[in-house]
Structure 1
Amino acid sequence: MASASSNKNKFYFSHFNIRSLCSDFDSFSDYVAAEAFDIYGLSETWLSEPLSSNNFKIHNYNLVRKDRDGRGGGVAFYVVNSLKFQVIDTSAQQSALEQLWIRTKINGKIICFGTLYRPPMANLASSLDDLENAIVSFLPDCDVVMFGGDLNVDMLEAGSPGCSAINQFFNKYNLTQLVQSPTRISQFGGKLIDVLVTSNPKLISDVQVINMDNISDHHLVLTDLDLQKNRVPISYRTYRDYSHFVLTDFVNDLFNVNWQNIFNMTNIDQMITFFQKNITDVFNIHAPLKTSRFSKPPAPWITDNIKFMMKLRQKALTRYKKLKTDTSLYEYKQLRNLVTSAVRNEKKLILNINLD
């Protein structure tokens, strides 16, 4: 299995309830070395603060973890070294849901990856509330959301209250659950409690459930994302360039047109043609037609007000570069933060409209 470092178009993301990283670390480390997926999301790591991350190093991977404050639980990521990422803060939550999120950029796409664990006795409604708060906080700023987790709800029991609540939550945010077969087998049968969820199922080409009974009684769930860089079709737009338009010069040239000629014409079509041609000729002098090439996709959240704010921000930056004073730096930062906040709010508004 190739990792993203050797194949930029394919990206492999997995989730595994390991039920103690300590007890089977060597076996898990060997598996990682053999398969080399890009991200391994783990739940029930059973790590605690006294246990140093140095004891759980895997070659070519970075470990980021979020231990439970107490016995058991815990979530973590092993992320391939070639991938730069940031941890997303989700500390403000009320339920017992354990979640860890990272943000990264691959082939121009901003992707937020998560790994989750909901303890069996944790209130499901409160857990979904905390998951919702986390997703809403970063959804407007990312292109793809992808997470795996053990929710301790059998997703094969479609009519159960727990399964219905989770599916309703997924539908609300246009999320798709990818795993379709049992992920934990016991003497009482199989249950699908380990999920993989994405906001863009079109990127998914394969989903696997892999038996890991030499390490845990949970199966590892794996998917690959096709992250080819989308080429935006190049378009050309023709418009009038008013950057050097001077109204007084424009009006003077209109007055200089010999409009009396129109009274010598008897054909109405000829009059209209004369009028249109002279108006157009004057416009072509003062606001000539210009054709530009556009290769960026439209951004509906960039409103006229935001464009105006961006101009003010750019002027403030230019002023700071010239003056190099604390006051000019403060003014620039204020405008920069104002633009960032406005763009984020517009994105959220568009997202809510689309959801409704």
Structure 2
Amino acid sequence: MTGRRLGNDPAAHELNILSINIRSLRHKLRDVLDLAEGTKSDILVICETWLDSSVTPGDLHLPGHNLERLDRSGNVGGGVCIYWKAELNCQPRPDLVSPGIECCWIEVKTSHQPCLIGSLYRPPGCTVSYWDSFEALLSKACSPTTQTILCGDFNVDTSRNCSNHMRLADIATSYGLQQHVRSPTRIGLRGPPTTIDLVYSTMECASPATNHAISFSDHHAVTTPFNMVPIRIPPAAPAQTRNIRRINMDLFRQDIQCANLCSIKGTCTEMWTQWHECLMSLVDQHAPLRPRKHRAHNVAPWYTPELAALVRRRNKLHRKWLRTRLDVDYCSLQQSRREVTRTSRALKEQHYNEAFVNATRNPRQTWRVLNQLSERQPVHTLPKCSPDDIGNVFAGIVNDPQRPPALTLPQGPMSPNSLSIFKPVTIARVRKLLSSIAMTKATGSDGLPGTILKSCADLLAPSLMLIFNKSLSEGQLPPSMKIANITPVYKGGE
């Protein structure tokens, strides 16, 4: 979790980065989420995602995380992505993407200076010219005003001296990058263990990088904590709601009668304030506000007990192979991995087929399933401008001399006589309007539930009639009645 304290130093904070070569991400999201939660990682740097344009954002959704991805174009395989917790103040940096290098970047806002985090995959067998492109990439990403962290599968074994290792080490040293992974990250069936999943940074890590053997990839996951104070986005105020349905309406009506709302005196504003406070105190007494519980989004609704059993078996076989290192155990592990992947795909297909069949005659449910499948998000096309600019646009339309006025507005300050053309409000009229309130509509800025106003219209109408007539006689409205929630809808154009 972001903002974890280290030791007894209250000023030290830790940002935990998880780096992994996933070898196909799409059907391993639950494994990735479990690993991220188990390691308490804030940012997930993933390579070899094996994605293409046919994979929608909905297929890659992780609850509470945002995603930046870079798929390989043309050939199959490759690809990189970065997940980060939604509470972190991060933004993608597509301007740092370089042709010929599979690497995507995000920028993390911190209290000291920004930090660039990159996810890189270098395919095996690259030509010597790759390092020239890599050095050009670092020249854009590394600067004195930012910190830089670069993670991924470099396919360069740093445990032995070779030409690629020497060239990579020279480039890293020239840009002030240090490598933090010391133990092997890939232990295959044949050949010696290799250290090819690397973490480079321009800063010291808070503690040594840790390798985690995982059952859904033949690479180890690497967690690296950094001393960093990221700027977090303030959490939204918890949503609150009232359980209006559980109100004992008979007792509530008795309390309204005992409140004697018709006895309220004073100016229009004073009467409305006292009336509103009195009614809201009764509402709080009978239906107090309570935080709304949000159900966590299930990353895989098709995750059945059958699939869970297969995953447990795969993990057990992985632990056995780590102990024995026998060929027969490795073959069993590979077979179990393939079985988990096939079953996950089949269950997902079955889940959405059944969802579409059940929604055949329900267009709304059909679109709900489509949105869940594609993770469609509303597109915000409202241009960036201040509230004053929006107000000036609306005022310009109303005051346009070429536009015929729809209503003759009074000029100058209003007086009580200016409202004499309106007839006094009657109790029957107020009661009729209260009874016509739609109880399914959201509560307005006054916080009064429509269900209360409609159910108690006969008791509230007399006191409201007095307030409305007082407003007409004084020629003014209470300030709170002038407040409204307005959402301008951008229609395009200038």
Q: TM-score range by the shorter chain?
A: 0.5 to 0.7
Match of 1:168 in 2: 170
Structure 2 length as normaliser, TM-score? 0.43
Match of 2:80 in 1: 75
* Matching of residue 155 in structure 1 with residue 158 in structure 2: yes
Structure 1 SS opposite 2:26: coil
The 5-angstrom pairing of residues 250-289 of structure 1 reads none
Unaligned runs of 5+ in 1: 230-356
Q: Distance in 2 between matches of 1:138 and 1:179?
A: 21
Q: Which runs of 4+ in 1 moved over 4 A?
A: 5-8
The residue type equivalent to 1:166 in the other structure is: L
Q: Distance in 2 between matches of 1:166 and 1:138?
A: 16
* Matching of residue 90 in structure 1 with residue 92 in structure 2: no
Q: Distance in 1 between matches of 2:38 and 2:44?
A: 13
Q: CA deviation at 1:86?
A: 2.2
* Matching of residue 177 in structure 1 with residue 179 in structure 2: yes
Q: Distance in 1 between matches of 2:144 and 2:154?
A: 25
* Matching of residue 39 in structure 1 with residue 37 in structure 2: no
Unaligned runs of 5+ in 2: 6-11, 231-494
- How many corresponding residue pairs? 221
The residue type equivalent to 2:198 in the other structure is: V
The residue type equivalent to 2:226 in the other structure is: L
* Matching of residue 57 in structure 1 with residue 84 in structure 2: no
- Alignment RMSD (CA, Å): 1.9
Distance 1:162 1:138, change over 3 A: closer
Distance 1:14 1:34, change over 3 A: closer
Structure 1 SS opposite 2:78: coil
Q: Distance in 2 between matches of 1:64 and 1:191?
A: 28
Structure 1 SS opposite 2:199: strand
Distance 1:172 1:109, change over 3 A: same
Distance 1:141 1:170, change over 3 A: closer
Match of 1:189 in 2: 192
Q: Distance in 1 between matches of 2:170 and 2:144?
A: 23
Q: CA deviation at 1:128?
A: 2.5
Q: Is residue 12–residue 222 contact of structure 1 (8 Å, CA) maintained in 2?
A: yes
Structure 1 length as normaliser, TM-score? 0.59
Q: 1:103 aligns with which of 101, 107, 111?
A: 107
Q: CA deviation at 1:119?
A: 0.6
Distance 1:79 1:142, change over 3 A: farther
Which structure's CA Rg is the greater one? 2
Q: CA deviation at 1:133?
A: 1.9
Q: Distance in 2 between matches of 1:32 and 1:163?
A: 30
The residue type equivalent to 2:77 in the other structure is: G
Match of 1:209 in 2: 211
Could you give the per-residue CA deviations for residues 213-269 of structure 1, whole angstroms, max 9, x where no partner exists? x1100001111011259xxxxxxxxxxxxxxxxxxxxxxxxxxxxxxxxxxxxxxxx
The residue type equivalent to 2:89 in the other structure is: K
Q: Is residue 112–residue 142 contact of structure 1 (8 Å, CA) maintained in 2?
A: no
Q: Distance in 2 between matches of 1:167 and 1:131?
A: 12
Q: Distance in 2 between matches of 1:165 and 1:217?
A: 26
Q: Distance in 1 between matches of 2:182 and 2:143?
A: 28
Structure 1 SS opposite 2:131: helix
Q: Distance in 1 between matches of 2:85 and 2:3?
A: 8
Structure 1 SS opposite 2:62: coil
| Structure number having the greater strand percentage | 1
Could you give the per-residue CA deviations for residues 264-320 of structure 1, whole angstroms, max 9, x where no partner exists? xxxxxxxxxxxxxxxxxxxxxxxxxxxxxxxxxxxxxxxxxxxxxxxxxxxxxxxxx
Q: Is residue 39–residue 79 contact of structure 1 (8 Å, CA) maintained in 2?
A: yes
* Matching of residue 135 in structure 1 with residue 133 in structure 2: no
Structure 2 SS opposite 1:140: coil
The residue type equivalent to 1:135 in the other structure is: L
Distance 1:168 1:6, change over 3 A: closer
Could you give the per-residue CA deviations for residues 184-227 of structure 1, whole angstroms, max 9, x where no partner exists? 001322000000001122x4323101111x11000011110112
Q: CA deviation at 1:136?
A: 1.5
